[in-house]
A and B are shown apart, each in its own frame.
Chain A
Amino acid sequence: MATPALERTGRTAETRREPHASEARGPERRWVKPVLLWLAVVLIIVFCLFPFYWLINVSLKTGPDLSQADLLPPEPTLDNYQSIFENADFTKALRNSVGITFITTALALVFGSFAAYALARLRFPRKFLLLAVILSITTFPPIAIAAPLFKLWTELGLYNTWAGLIIPNLTFALPLCIYILASFFREIPKELEEAALVDGATHFQAFRKVVLPLAAPGLVTAGLLTAFFVWNEFLLAITLTSSPSARTVPAAIAFFTGSQKFEVPIGTISAASVVITIPLVALVIIFQKRIVAGLTAGAVKG
């Protein structure tokens, strides 16, 4: 396997060096393609970053500056940030979000890595059917279970609690988690496990001592994507909570905007939106490779 891969990368570098689009039209137009490409790259960067920059810009303005469409805040101020952190509803929501995200992600990784190992390595009948059922959950519209959960949670005392959000979030996060982990587990050489099995280890020991440590990057990827998903969840967060005591940040922000006139707290809302997004952007910058690997896991197979 290793040799053709090497051969291919060697070839790639070779073909890359020649500017293939221009060769038919002569050397005088060789600059056209790099310039167009460069323009496209700038366009992509502006398209992706500018709107978020604009939000940060708005969050640094107060009073009449807000209504001026200046690209730079004339008098940048952190007042909005100060007021958001003085708002008890927001800080409570922040704590709820962090707690719910951590617990859900941890549970998803534990449950998910068990299930993924079984699907990736153990042999049992009707595996395809099982995988199809698990994956079909990713297509469920959360609205379809909102009413029954609302009713059930009220009866069970889970309405407006952390557990009431952790449980459904776990359900919706698990399929993705299992899918990513299974595709990582399958890439670990079987020989390592088989050596452990020959040495007298049980399947479970092979899983815990051999596979799991080797799949650490996969756990990071799956954990990150699960955490992003839970942090972002909105519909259940507003349907299954009634007060700031269990409300997560996206829901809290929607309630800032929903009830009152938009012009009053726009600076504050922008600041809150920036605060909850910055950690995610930081994670994206640090774990860019892992996240891309997770997003594309299994997507390229024909």
Chain B
Amino acid sequence: MEAATARLRRRPRGRDGYGRSERRLAATMLAPSLIVIAAVAAYPIGYAFWLSLTEYSLRTPGLWRFAGFDNYSEALSSPEFWDALTTTFVFSGISVGLELVIGLGMALCMHEAFKGRAILRTVVLVPWAVLTVTTAITWRTIFEPGLGLAPVLLDKLGLPGADIVWLGEEPYALGVMILADVWKTAPFMALLILAGLQVIPDELYDAAKVDGASAWQRFRRITLPLLRPAILVALIFRTLDALRIFDLPFVLTQGANGTTTLSLIAQQELTTNRLIGLGSALSVLTFLIVMAVAFIYIRALGGNIRALAEET
């Protein structure tokens, strides 16, 4: 009924179904946001690409010449770039994987724990609210030799690892970085998955129980498939964040001992070494890698965005 009257009322406004005044208002209302986004995201990306094609260093005043793809070949032939790429992907893969498993477990507990859910939800938001810089400092105070809790605790419990310099040795520093990231963001994953759990109708479980399905079967056949969209969204957010990680390694280790990520190596070339051309090339490569992963994911999620646009 309402839809019909609305259509009737709107039809005379424009030939193509949209009122002209409505379209003009839409343009006006979108303009401020689009201008800011275009000015500070789109334009600088283009500029970064241009800078990456030049030989330009703040160390040598007046040096600015077109260099073609020299910066890219330099970046792609340096072992540091490939190390950073490997570190970034190892970090993202392991931490997002762990976050998914732990987040799913936490979500299932929160869903079951009926009375404590509100308290649990608040508790779980605490790590999410802790700044990344603070997270890094927190885990430094836990693993730093000489004041850290971890070496003492491991020693007292008689577990191996008490004499490891956690932040100072090659695979372990990355391990601490993964642990810190999992601590901070598994709760976020849990909340997204919990929201997905809460929209699964209980009737499905009742019916499955009547048919004699075990708890594991119900989880495999009902919960997991119906959680797919929520999990997918959580995975996208987290993977893209993890691939861009910068503040955690910067504060935790300054990129030492195998923790230099793509964003970190690019930032170091830019600000420490002041090689704007090479740094820009590394930034653009980081951008392209993240975009490629985003593209793969968004193809899977495209329906969600379309639904938001078309539901109106």
Contact = CB atoms under 8 A, between A and B. Distances in A.
B244 A142 contact: yes
B104 interface: no
Prevailing SS type, chain A contact patch: helix
B310 A128 contact: yes
Interface stretch (A51-59, A72-80, A83-91, A215-223): A51-59
Interface string A237-281: 011000000000010011001100011001001100110110011
B175 interface: no
A171 B40 contact: yes
Contacts of A114: 28-30, 32-33
Nearest to A7: B203
B267 A52 contact: no
A124 B26 contact: yes
B100 interface: no
Listed residue (B126, B266, B291, B303) with the most chain A CB atoms within 10 angstroms of its CB: B126
A94 interface: no
Nearest to A282: B129
B308 A147 contact: no
Given A40-B109, A280-B131, A150 B270 contact: yes
B195 A296 contact: yes
Nearest to B140: A262
A124 B215 contact: no
A98 to B, nearest CB: 14
Contacts of B234: 299
Nearest to A40: B109
B94 interface: no
Contact of A44 (B28, B120, B286): B120
A133 to B, nearest CB: 8
Interface of A: 8, 11-12, 15-16, 20-21, 24, 37, 40-41, 44-45, 47-49, 51-52, 54-55, 58, 66-67, 69, 110-112, 114-115, 117-125, 127-128, 130-152, 167-168, 170-172, 174-175, 178-179, 182-183, 186, 190-191, 194, 197-198, 203-204, 228, 231-232, 234-235, 238-239, 250, 253-254, 257-258, 262-263, 266, 269-270, 273-274, 276-277, 280-281, 283-285, 288, 291-292, 295-296, 298-302
Interface of B: 2, 6, 9, 16-19, 21-23, 25-30, 32-34, 36-37, 39-41, 43-45, 47-48, 51, 105-106, 109-110, 112-114, 116, 118, 120-134, 137-142, 144, 146-149, 151-153, 183, 187-188, 191-192, 195-196, 199, 201-203, 205-206, 209, 214-215, 229-230, 233-234, 240, 243-244, 246-247, 250-251, 254, 262-263, 266-267, 270-271, 276, 279-280, 283-284, 286-287, 290-291, 294, 298, 303-312
